[in-house]
Copies of this chain bind each other. A is one copy, B any other.
Amino acid sequence: MEERDIKRAGLKITQPRVKILDLLSNSQEHHLSAEDIYKLLLGNGEEIGLATVYRVLTQFEAAGLVNRHHFEGGQAVFELATEEHHDHMVCMKTGRVVEFYDEIIEQRQQELARLHNFRIKDHSLILYGEFIGESDENA
């Protein structure tokens, strides 16, 4: 993701937008809340307002640049929409998130939708639990 993508979305290329996109592109953790992003940028000495972070993320979502997920815990998290569709495993101890994709589940969802006369626009599959043998580093 780069400035070109911001322009393609019909948005001006501004400092806050570039900084947020860079952070999402380069951060080790792919899933960041608006407040995560705000604090990380402040920590890097960047000047940015929390309202701008929320506003820009919503615009990016509308433009298809990022996806918003509602994991448990109140705050929505965002990730770049560069990768193919995938679902998530969320560790309830460390907060670690692993992405996965399974063709069987995807097809089965479509089959079930057909059976119920339902047209799927979006879906959310999240497995909550813990990675076996992993210690509680962050929580």
Chain A residues in the interface with B (C-beta under 8 A): 70, 72, 89, 91-92, 98, 100, 102, 104-105, 108-109, 112-113, 116-133
Contact = CB atoms under 8 A, between A and B. Distances in A.
Given A72-B70, A123-B126, A118 B131 contact: yes
25 contacts: A70-B72, A89-B112, A89-B113, A89-B116, A89-B118, A92-B121, A100-B116, A102-B112, A104-B104, A105-B108, A109-B127, A112-B127, A116-B131, A117-B133, A118-B129, A119-B129, A119-B132, A120-B127, A120-B128, A121-B129, A122-B128, A123-B125, A123-B126, A123-B128, A124-B126
Number of copies: 2
Q: Please report whether the interface of chain A is mostly helix, strand, loop or mixed according to DSSP.
A: strand
